Amino acid sequence: MNGPSSNDWVLPAHPKLLKGKTLAVIVLDGWGEQVPDQYNAIHVASTPTMDSLKEGAPEHWRLIRAHGPAVGLPSEDDMGNSEVGHNALGAGRIFAQGAKLVDHALETGKIFEGAGFKYIQECFSDGTLHLIGLLSDGGVHSRYDQLQALMRGSAAHGAKRIRVHALTDGRDVLDGSSFHFMEQLEKDLEELRKQGVDALLASGGGRMYVTMDRYENDWNVVKRGWDAQVLGEAPNKFKSGLEALKHLKAANPKFNDQYCPPFVIIDDSGKAVGPILDGDAVVTFNFRADRMIMLAKALEYEDFDKFDRVRVPKINYAGMLQYDGELKLPSRYLVNPPEIDRTSGEYLVKNGVRTYACSETVKFGHVTFFWNGNRSGLFDENLECYYEIPSDQGITFNEQPLMKALEIGEKARDAILSGKYDQVRVNLPNGDMVGHTGDIKATIIACEAADKAVKMILDAIDQVGGIYLVTADHGNAEDMVKRNPKTAQPLLDKNGNIQILTSHTCWPVPIAIGGPGLSPGVRFRADLPDGGLANVAATMMNLLGFEAPADYEPSLIEVVES
Ligand SMILES: O=C(O)[C@@H](CO)OP(=O)(O)O
Ligand SMILES: [Mn+2]
Ligand SMILES: [Mn+2]
């Protein structure tokens, strides 16, 4: 759909709510609502500010859906994630997301008829098809069944030589599950070999240490992957993926899937079996954008100075999707991305709303790029300021659970007090980033830090007579163990240890509104019990004094006579 004509961008004034109140929009990353037990880090943490907001229920505090179809994912079993969560928050409508679009393209076989695949296919007669991505069925960045279908379909469509470059997960799925996925991959590759396709694993490494950095936090991560995938070089060399994982784990008591060191697979003569060479085809098979963009740049850009690529092979490269609509990156892709248009950010800027958005690097793109429908950059440099606080590099965030929460709080406070902005939007990463480490103690500290940052922002809103809207993009820190779905009791592994959950969850997230600028008659409607993240954009527009576009999901608030 094309954008409306310039007149259509005008949002009508809300009949009852006035413009001119500063609105703080706070997104707590990975902050859901779940049973209050010892494995709920948010519950255990001292979070007086968030607790006090809860007292406003049901008129000023409620829960909203942040997973599954409510955010455009295939099923109720799909946990939420930052991409789909911030897309829904910013766009005010539910778009079928990457996971679903790829499923459809594979089920119908359309993926193999598209221009992207045809481009890849050009290399099949003489070159190798390389598939790089996350080995997981988490459904956040990739899914194993999609990789399977892509390998089989490519073979059926003429690929003679396939090399997989696998990134182990342990973040969207249980730590340790890389062994299971690697075993499955090796079986599937063997099956292909039986059918006459020369199919092998070529390299591997853990997602957080190899390749899948985001927002240019640490190019070394991408370089490690480049060396293994393209140059066929890594400090660790093995004959098979399983052998690699077993050895690396045995060698390091702290080994985990997310931080597995890079390795390459070698043949009997000690030569890497699958470096990327001139004339090869490459597909990055993750559907999610943020953690593939840096590699896409390294693979596609002629001018590139982020690290020494040593050798830049002439390849036909396609992403599973196009990851950045504004940069048109990558230029070739197998499946069209969701066309997220007319986002609230674009509307608001066209209606003169001045916006300040801030987070630290690891989540900076969430409140900007994802919020704006996977679009880089500002809509209007005169009305917007996006501020990035550099994240710590090279650490797992349980080592530094405070992260930059207080710095984000300070920046937001200053932006609010400056009077220069109508909307001040932040993402507070702590619950999520520390929750992903599986370290419960550190996650508790992380949640306390996020709560303090919320307080700083709410205090500033108090001072200027503004309004706040506090919510989250999906669950994480509220549930740190894998549970028996029937009893909710923690599940034990074969050694009798509690299984730690490093992933997001399917739990709902809170939303709270308030502040001295909130009209007394404003309250959450009772007739939207299934409301989700996509209902937030219209709510924000109302709080800023506008009616939302007619096709946005309905606002969560109503104004009653008080
Ligand atoms: O770290 C990430 O990439 C995901 C989990 O895979 O988390 P989030 O969606 O919160 O960014
Ligand atoms: Mn998130
Ligand atoms: Mn996360």
**Average of per-residue pLDDT across 429-445:** 98
pLDDT at 1 over 50: no
pLDDT at 527 over 50: yes
Given a contact cutoff of 8 angstroms between Cβ atoms, the answer to whether 424 and 380 are in contact is no
Q: What is the pLDDT of residue 2?
A: 44
Pocket test for ligand 1, best of 83, 97, 171 (most atoms within 8 A of CB): 171
Note the ligand closest to the C-alpha atom of 472.
2
Which pLDDT band, with edges at 50, 70 and 90, does 35 fall under? Answer: confident
* Ligand 1 touching residue 404 (CB < 6 A): no
pLDDT at 305 over 50: yes
pLDDT at 278 over 70: yes
Q: What is the pLDDT of residue 3?
A: 45
**Model confidence over 358-396: pLDDT tens digits?**
999 999 999 999 999 999 999 999 999 999 999 999 999
The string of DSSP letters for 431-444 reads: HHHHHTTT-HHHHH
Would you call 151 exposed, middle or buried from its count of C-beta atoms within 10 A (0-12, 13-18, 19+)?
buried
Residue 29 alpha carbon, nearest atom of ligand 1: 10
**Average of per-residue pLDDT across 480-487:** 94
Retrieve residue 295's tokens.
């590699």
**Model confidence over 320-361: pLDDT tens digits?**
999 999 999 999 999 999 999 999 999 999 999 999 999 999
**CATH numbers and ranges of domains, the chain:** 25-95+340-559 (3.40.720.10), 99-335 (3.40.1450.10)
Which pLDDT band, with edges at 50, 70 and 90, does 7 fall under? Answer: low
Looking at the annotation, which residues are catalytic? 82
pLDDT at 446 over 70: yes
Pocket test for ligand 1, best of 291, 436, 533 (most atoms within 8 A of CB): 436
Residue 327 CA to residue 375 CA, distance in Å, equals 8
Which among 300, 306, 373 is positioned nearest to 331, based on CA atoms? 300
E strand intervals along 191-311: 198-206, 236-238, 263-265, 281-284
Q: Which residue's CA is the closest to the ligand 1 atom numbered 5?
A: 172
* Ligand 1 touching residue 258 (CB < 6 A): no
Residues annotated within the binding site for substrate are 141, 171-172, 207, 214, 288-291, 363
Side chain identity at residue 322, one-letter code = Q
Distance 413 CA to ligand 1 centre (A): 26
Q: Which residue's CA is the closest to the ligand 1 atom numbered 6?
A: 172
Instruction: State how beta strands 23-28 and 236-238 pair.
Output: unpaired
Residue 365 CA to residue 552 CA, distance in Å, equals 23
Q: 258: which strand partners?
A: none
* Ligand 1 touching residue 363 (CB < 6 A): no
219-229 helix and 293-300 helix, angle to the nearest 10 degrees: 60
Retrieve residue 161's tokens.
């030589």
Residues annotated within the binding site are 29, 82, 141, 171-172, 207, 214, 288-291, 363, 432, 436, 473-474, 504
- Which pTM was predicted? 0.95
Residue 354 CA to residue 242 CA, distance in Å, equals 53
Which pLDDT band, with edges at 50, 70 and 90, does 218 fall under? Answer: very high
pLDDT at 256 over 60: yes
Quick one: CA dihedral 43, 46, 50, 52, positive or negative? Answer: positive
Q: Which residues contact residue 42 at a Cβ distance below 8 angstroms, ignoring those fewer than 6 apart?
A: 31, 32, 50, 431, 447, 477, 478
pLDDT at 450 over 90: yes
Neighbours of 109 (CB within 10 A): 12
Q: What is the pLDDT of residue 361?
A: 97
Q: Which residue's CA is the closest to the ligand 1 atom numbered 8?
A: 82
Q: Which residue's CA is the closest to the ligand 1 atom numbered 10?
A: 82
Note the ligand closest to the C-alpha atom of 173.
1
Q: How does the average pLDDT of the chain come out, rounded?
A: 97
